Structures are given as structure tokens and as C-alpha cells.
Amino acid sequence: MARIPYPDPISLAEADRKLLNAIPPLNVFRLLAVSPSLFQPLMNFFNAYLSHGLLSDEHREIIILRVGHLCRNPYELFQHERVAREIGMSEERIHALGSEKYSSLFDRLENDLIQFVDEVVQNDGASAEQLEKLRSHFTDAEVMEATIIIGVYIMVCKMLTTFDVEVEDTPIEGSGIEGIAAGLHETNKEKGRST
């Protein structure tokens, strides 16, 4: 059980209640709904890189899973291992992201990306050398997106650990990413905003 109660949907503002009902029923989202000022902006922010990001789905999940391992957060790992399977990552590659050493299952670009994640998380930022290695593979916009995703999942992992968020009793179908986009589309359409 989480260390603070999930909000009763009836207690939420109508727009937050509609959004919570429209997105996948994940405990992380239920917990975020505790904060009326942050819930919808954070969901829109997450959707920006999950549904409209420049990085490939696989590169995004490599980043997220590596951060999950470095932050030792079982909830984040459970959810994004599920997403990684949905996008076609092999079990071997998924599990290799928890290894201390880099695996031959990843190519040079992917190993450079993993090293970049490690440096940002463990050293409070990547070295100039590692940044230049990443820039040799990705555009500056992609490097910025990768860095922001690292920061987001450090934040998410710390929040999940602090509040001891548990894995759902009933697994969701699919990756959930499409459900986030669809739920936000409906909510934002009612407000006259695009997603």
C-alpha cells in the first residue's frame, strides 16, 4: 500500500477525474492525481516524448530501463520492461540493461547511450567526452530529449520509492502509451487544446 492514500476520484476536479478515467489505470497516475496543479501538465509532458518524441521507442526504453536499474526502482522496471516487450525488445536485451558491464547485445550507439545515462545519473551530468560521443550518433534535439527523459525518470523513480507505490493487482493490456495519448487527446479537446 502506498504511503499516502490514492485520491478518491469523486474528490477530484472534473477535468482531473475525466483524465484519470481516460488513461491506463496505473498506480503512478493515481498518485500523481493527488496534485491538482501538476497532474494534467505532467501527463501532457509525459505524452510529449512517449507519443511524439524524436528518439526511437527502443532507445527511449533503453534510457528508462537503465535509469530504473540505477535508481533501483521495481515499479518503474516492471512497467517499462512490459513496455519494452510490447515494442519488441528481446528478454535478453531487457535484462542486460541491469548488468554492471555492457553487453554485446547492444551496438556501439546503444552502449554509448547507456554510458551517457550512467554518467548523468551517477555523476550529476555527463562528461564532455560522453556528450560528444552521443552527439556523433544523435542530433542535438535527440540528445536534449534523451537528457530530459533521464531527468524525468530519476524524478519518477524517487517519487515512486518515496511513496512506496506498488505494482497494480490487475495488469494493463498493451503498452499503455496509446491510452495516455487517447486520454489526453479527449481531455485536451474539451479544453480546446491540441496534444
Alpha-carbon distance 55 to 70, whole Å? 21
Which structural domains are found in the chain, ordered by start? 54-168 (1.20.1290.10)
Q: Above 90 in pLDDT, residue 101?
A: no
Look up the pTM and report it: 0.94
Q: What is the SS3 assignment for the chain? A: CCCCCCCCHHHCCHHHHHHHHHCCCCHHHHHHCCCCCCHHHHHHHHHHHHHHCCCCHHHHHHHHHHHHHHCCCHHHHHHHHHHHHHCCCCHHHHHHCCCCCCCCCCCHHHHHHHHHHHHHHHHCCCCHHHHHHHHCCCCHHHHHHHHHHHHHHHHHHHHHHHCCCCCCCCCCCCCCHHHHHHHHHHHHHHHCCCC
pLDDT in tens, 53-66: 999 999 999 999 99
CA angle 26, 77, 165 (to 5 degrees): 45
Q: Above 90 in pLDDT, residue 183?
A: no
Reported as a pLDDT band with limits 50, 70 and 90, residue 80 is very high
